Amino acid sequence: MKENSVSCLVTGAAGFIGSHLSERLLDLGYEVIGIDAFVDYYPRAVKEKNLTQLKKHPRFSFVEGNLLHLDLQPYLSRVKYIFHQAAQAGVRASWGSNFIIYTENNIDATQRLLEACKTAPQIEKFVYASSSSVYGDTPVLPMQEDSPLHPVSPYGVTKLAAEHLCYLYWKNFSIPTISLRYFTVYGPRQRPDMAIHKFIKSILLGEPIEVYGNGEQTRDFTFVADAVEANILAMKYPRSGEVFNIGGGSRIFLNKLIELIQTLLGKSVKVHYQATQKGDVGHTYADTSRAKRELGFSPKVGIEEGLREEIQWMKEMLKL
């Protein structure tokens, strides 16, 4: 790292959003320290591939390690901006004996990172990646930042707990936190467990699609470049201790989404409907007016354009 250069720390840098965010920060001229633990929720090889271009960049340095165990001070002393993207993902996998994995990686790790920030007064912003899961299955749409928060999955509970930690470390120790509630981010490098990734892959391979529920649930999909831009806007936001919805404005029924993907690919497959899974919600729909007003956030990529990009990436990945 160059002495006196402005550095950023990205946790979860080998992940879907973290790798895109790291690349964007490098494009903007920042030094980037990436940390990732390579937790085994999906194959390590996928994350290693996400890092391919990053590791070639002279202003990127990578640290493999878990936030629960790393000595964080050597890294925090060198950065002005922290983007905490690392988390144990997955609503459906967060039940039962797996819950400890979520409490450790989503709550304990966040608390440890925030605690370490107390001795790094040069930090200007700590941006936390939260989730629309904190709202739960609310009938009141669109979801607003001051809507009631009643998560219906253990995953959502841990994301909300970490949000509360960000607020209390700002309130009590002036750690300059901002929480961004992502609404279903998609695009190239999307995690293999996520719906759009699975739908595109199944159609490309001519395999049936499995849908949990009747397909009449809706999601507000957010293209990854728009989620990344929200982080860039948040890092320069003059106030702290606040929360913003980050949605793409592309709310669509899952059945319509599948039809659109099939149209874009010129192929169709059978759809098998399964029982609704515990923790799934019926609808998500972000009110992003606060983010637009305060951050200047405005999503740029619509669902069809975004799907075309993910389809192209998927074809390259599958060598089709």
With a cut of 70, say whether residue 74 has pLDDT above it.
yes
Does the annotation count 155 as an active-site position?
Answer: yes
Q: Which residues of 140-171 are buried (b: 16+ CB within 10 A; e: fewer)?
A: ebbbbbebebebbbbbbbbbbbbbebbbebbe
Q: What percent of the chain has pLDDT over 70?
A: 99
pLDDT digits (tens, 9 = 90+) for 247-294: 999 999 999 999 999 999 999 999 999 999 999 999 999 999 999 999
Task: Please tell me the distance from the alpha carbon of residue 306 to that of residue 260, in angstroms, as a whole number.
Answer: 12
Q: Where are the domains of the chain?
A: 7-185+223-247+286-300
Preceding omega of 74 cis (within 30 degrees of 0): no
Position 2 scores a pLDDT of 46
Q: pLDDT tens digits for 154-172?
A: 999 999 999 999 999 999 9
- pTM to 2 decimals? 0.96
Average pLDDT, the chain: 96
The correct CATH number of 7-185+223-247+286-300 out of 3.90.550.10, 3.40.1010.10, 3.40.190.10, 3.40.50.720 is: 3.40.50.720
| Residue 157 to residue 19: CA distance in whole angstroms | 25
Of 128, 135, 155, 285, catalytic: 155
